Structure 1
Amino acid sequence: MSYTRLQAKDAALLLIDHQVGTMSWVRSTSFDDMKKNALILAKAAAILKLPTVLTSSMEDQAQGPLLSELETILPAEFEARIKRLGIVNAMDDENFAAAVKATGRNKLILAGVTNDVCTVYPALTLVGQGYDVQVVADAGGSPTKMADDIALRRMEKAGVTLTSTNQLIAELAGSWSTPEGGQLVQALGIG
């Protein structure tokens, strides 16, 4: 299998359920690291003008609201977020599925909370529909390390590419010397 670098012009970003309540259930990584990585992805999407779909589930329940910073970083996308009514697999929500299709992109960058529920099922569905899916594993997490490991193995076995926030940003940048590359270094907090 040959490697082809993921480029922004071919990709869209899907952020699933980065909600303060849901994120508080994660124990496989820290809340702060998961939040930092999700926000870096959002900033990268803004810098690179990636089509982005945000979704939440039952914001008025224990899951809570989406991270408020997402509204600042991606205001139009936040306003247009898909509010699911408890549908576990976001791809089973016709509005979310339509929004994904409307991006017109076949290479999807996906991050969700939790990896073992909110991320795994849409990732498997999207691969099954012929999309090239990269899951940013450290922009999500699960209630236990075992649950996270099993979800990641299940996705990888199905053909999902697993990646990390830093790895994905570097791949999208291609070069730190471009104007976008310089902005991405700053988004990573290393510039």
Structure 2
Amino acid sequence: MSKFDLLDPQNSTLIFIDHQPQMSFGVANIDRQQLKNNTVALAKAGKIFNVPTIYTSVETESFSGYIWPELLAVHPEVQPIERTSMNSWEDAAFVAAVKATGRKKLIISALWTEVCLTFPALMALKEGFEVYVVT
């Protein structure tokens, strides 16, 4: 596989980071319902093409709430990875799930670019993954 290969269902993984109610309150650059609709549509597109999907959440019970039910409903067979760290790449279970897919092209959808997206993206790049950001 080359970094010049286009994204396809055989070489990519779709990752959703922290799509939770409390985390949504900090998002002000898009209507929250539109954000949710767009995110669910992305998950559905991934499902149509059989792209492996990973959900991860932070501090579900104590602060952030559960991942949006509409998003989880797209992949009811996928168990979200619960974390305590804001940087998902610091969580061994998350990194193991990413590596278990055997895919090097990571399509990451995260609510907060400054933390939820940037930190794991930089660490994944350092480990030789390619990162594609959903904006």
Task: Give the TM-score category using the shorter length.
Answer: over 0.9
What do residues 114-156 of structure 1 show as CA deviations (whole Å, max 9, x unaligned)?
111111100111111111110101xxxxxxxxxxxxxxxxxxx
Contact 1:22 1:62 in 2 (8 A): no
- In the alignment, what sits opposite 1:48? 49
Identity fraction in percent: 35
- In the alignment, what sits opposite 2:124? 126
Contact 1:21 1:65 in 2 (8 A): no
Q: CA RMSD in A?
A: 1.4
TM-score of the two chains, using structure 2 as the length reference = 0.92
TM-score of the two chains, using structure 1 as the length reference = 0.66
Are 2:29 and 1:28 aligned?
yes
* Stretches of structure 2 lacking an aligned partner (at least 5 in a row): none
* Stretches of structure 1 lacking an aligned partner (at least 5 in a row): 138-191
- Looking at structure 2, the residues matched to 130 and 107 of structure 1 have their Cα atoms a distance apart, in angstroms, of 10
- In the alignment, what sits opposite 1:84? 83
Q: Shift of the alpha carbon at 1:47?
A: 0.7
Are 2:93 and 1:95 aligned?
yes
Q: Shift of the alpha carbon at 1:44?
A: 1.1
Does 87-96 or 62-71 show the bigger shift? 62-71
- In the alignment, what sits opposite 1:69? 70
Q: Structure 1: which 4+ aligned runs deviate by more than 2 Å?
A: 2-5
Paired residue secondary structure (1:111)? strand
Residue 40 of structure 2 aligns with an amino acid whose one-letter code is L
Paired residue secondary structure (1:9)? coil
Richer in helix (by share): 1
- Looking at structure 1, the residues matched to 105 and 6 of structure 2 have their Cα atoms a distance apart, in angstroms, of 11
Paired residue secondary structure (2:131)? strand
Q: Shift of the alpha carbon at 1:32?
A: 1.7
